[in-house]
Amino acid sequence: MSGAFFPPAWATSAPGPWLQPVRQAAQQPPAQPRVALHVAGHAVGSVVQGFFEEIGLQRMMDKRWQLYFQEHPQQPAWYLDVAPEDATAALNAVAAALRTAGRCGPWRDEQLAVPNPQGDVVATVERGAVRVLGIATRAVHLVGVAPDGRMWVQQRSHTKPNNPGMWDTLMGGMVSAQDTLPEALARETWEEAGLEVDQLHRVAHGGYVEFSRPSREGGGVGFMRERIDWFQAVVPEGMEPANQDGEVERFELLQNGPLLHRLEQGLFTPEAALVIAGYCGW
């Protein structure tokens, strides 16, 4: 991928008062005290204090895996004591138990990478469990503009579990366990917008934004930790996005005025708002 960063000329002015609250909302402490979760000797996430005991997770787990709580003066923690090669199977057993208890996020049959604090992938786990388990995730967004500088945006389907009906960048999606960033960019761009990345112009990595905030998943016990890498590209004249996976209500091509108005009105998802702010150099 090549290209240069090309913020729009109209973005040279200050963004207005809407941006600071969005940034503050993206960085919040947990709503409830959380306890660290270790898997195969690695710190990978956290759970709300008392949550595993509340749902009786230890009794629901496959007897092959040992899950136990250990008190420490500095940092108590839950330990899923398994060999490294069993970490994925054990974590997915936890996810299945959460689903049985009705305390999981939307089940997607999609595996996401489970990194340790150094960024090494130590396992994979069902996407629906990552927020409840406080596992860090990766996502990718694409800011797509027309040759004249107008921006392509999408309205999320009204049936999506998160932020239904809100406005988003041209594409936004998770990086699955088997994806590299370029692979996730290509796959999600096709699924959401029906566009081939190699047919777009001036494709370039623009930057990233990070989120750390409470999540409603699992009955309000989730915690979102996510890095969103965003890319930019020019959608050639005569090429229009067309959704392929049923997760987009519609696309629009916006001038700067309507775009800024929707940002000011809070009609974009927080993720999209911060990505667009990054694209504008704010």
Q: Is the pLDDT assigned to residue 4 strictly greater than 70?
A: no
Average pLDDT rounded to a whole number, residues 102-120: 95
Q: Which residue has the higher pLDDT, 44 or 14?
A: 44
Average pLDDT rounded to a whole number, residues 54-69: 82
pLDDT, the chain, mean: 93
Q: Is the pLDDT assigned to residue 34 strictly greater than 80?
A: yes
Average pLDDT rounded to a whole number, residues 22-33: 96
Q: Is the pLDDT assigned to residue 12 strictly greater than 80?
A: no
pLDDT in tens, 143-192: 999 999 999 999 999 999 889 999 999 999 999 999 999 999 999 999 99
Average pLDDT rounded to a whole number, residues 115-121: 95
pLDDT given for residue 63 in this prediction:
77
pLDDT given for residue 10 in this prediction:
59
Query: 118 pLDDT band (50/70/90 cuts)?
Result: very high
pLDDT given for residue 7 in this prediction:
62
Average pLDDT rounded to a whole number, residues 191-213: 97
How much is the pTM? 0.91
| SS3 readout for the chain | CCCCCCCCHHHHCCCCCCHHHHHHHHECCCCCCEEEEEECCEEEEEEECCHHHHHCHHHHCCCCCEEEEECCCCCCEEEEECCHHHHHHHHHHHHHHHHHCCCCCCCCCCEEEEECCCCCEEEEEEHHHCCCCCCEEEEEEEEEECCCCCEEEEEECCCCCCCCCCEECCEEEECCCCCCHHHHHHHHHHHHHCCCHHHCEEEEEEEEEEEEEEECHHHHCEEEEEEEEEEEEECCCCCCCCCCCCCEEEEEEECHHHHHHHHHCCCECHHHHHHHHHHHCC
Flag the least confident range among 30-44, 55-69, 141-155, 191-205: 55-69
Q: Name all domains of the chain by residue range, CATH numbers in brackets.
A: 9-28+137-280 (3.90.79.10), 34-134 (3.30.750.160)
